[in-house]
Structure 1
């Protein structure tokens, strides 16, 4: 009987042991499944956390970029405003320069017109058929050059009668232009002047001839305040004084006609200074 009971107990214990092992296996399987799910969830969580960090960084970048864009837009607006102001100032400056340039051109045109009218008048009155009388424009200045042989005898400063006929025509033009001035320049060759006690050298001779012409012009009605006497001696020759013909060319009296257009010159000088300052 005892043996039977022991056998039953052994069978019961074996059955219990088998049930426990089965449950244990089921638990281990379930635990592995849960562990796998946990691992998978952990991986996904880490991935999500990484994505979150990346997204957060992108958001910060976009915020900063947006802020920079807003600032740049503000700067661009400021720059655009300044640019528009600079363009407007540049246009105003260009307009001012255009006005000044037009004024300069008008002044120069008027000066050229005065010069042309003066040359035409002198050529008409004085005549240019005589090769010993020349009416020209030199550096914007009108002048009449009269050969020495028409005016004076050799070494003399007494004006000849023929010269007075030419000077009368010059005086007629000058008298019709009270705003003109005339500078009479005496020129000699380089042959030394033989002093006669009154004149010492070619300087004296050139100046004395100039003052003689001035006196004739005043006798012909030209206002003395319009006349300037000047002597250049031998120092402004037209050609080399190496032949008698060349020396004859250099012996001359030049009457420089100067219209009083100081206002034009003053304006031109002023405007040129303004343009340079700009």
Structure 2
């Protein structure tokens, strides 16, 4: 009889435990055993996610407008059907770009002029030139300029196979990352000749295609005044200006920059580097 009463009491207590949940179970456990159970330590509430510290090179990709680029995982960059022609930004923002370099005959003078006016620009470098003149790419990095990919040897990409297009872009990105400190986020097709394969491979490598709004035609050596006039006439918010710092005699480009850059700044233009676009 006593054994039946004890079983009945235990069943009643266990029934209460099921109704009371975890806290009740602890009490029942104590009632049956005369000791307190060891409960798991409370799990702390999740706090704010720690932000990754900025690397020493992060400032290079933050435009003077205050807009910073979002980090993009290679392979997730949008595949464009056409290149970006303009950039976004506050007010009268413009971007100066220089292709084909770096060339020790002209690039240092361009960098000197940009530094004099505390302006950042974009340099779309050819891999073979960047590899031969790594000191100039390092200087671009140190002075806050953005370095983009302009292929290894400046071929007409629309006449190449996919494997050769990839090789042209990959080799250049590798050199830029090694010298600049991080892979390029922008690329530009030589001669402005784009095709589906170029857009796809560029996106696979985590790069956005950037063309231009104003072509100075400086490669035709039209004269300093002509180059200056094209820039000043084409100036407008969001404009991307195309010039060259290699690929021929670029002395006119050097002298034209000295003329039109202070004019743009005096007119209220904010000459800077772009942020990444995602629309």
TM-score normalised by the chain length of structure 1: 0.29
Which structure has greater helix proportion?
Answer: 1
Give the number of the structure whose alpha-carbon radius of gyration is greater. Answer: 1
Superposition TM-score, scaled by structure 2 size:
0.29
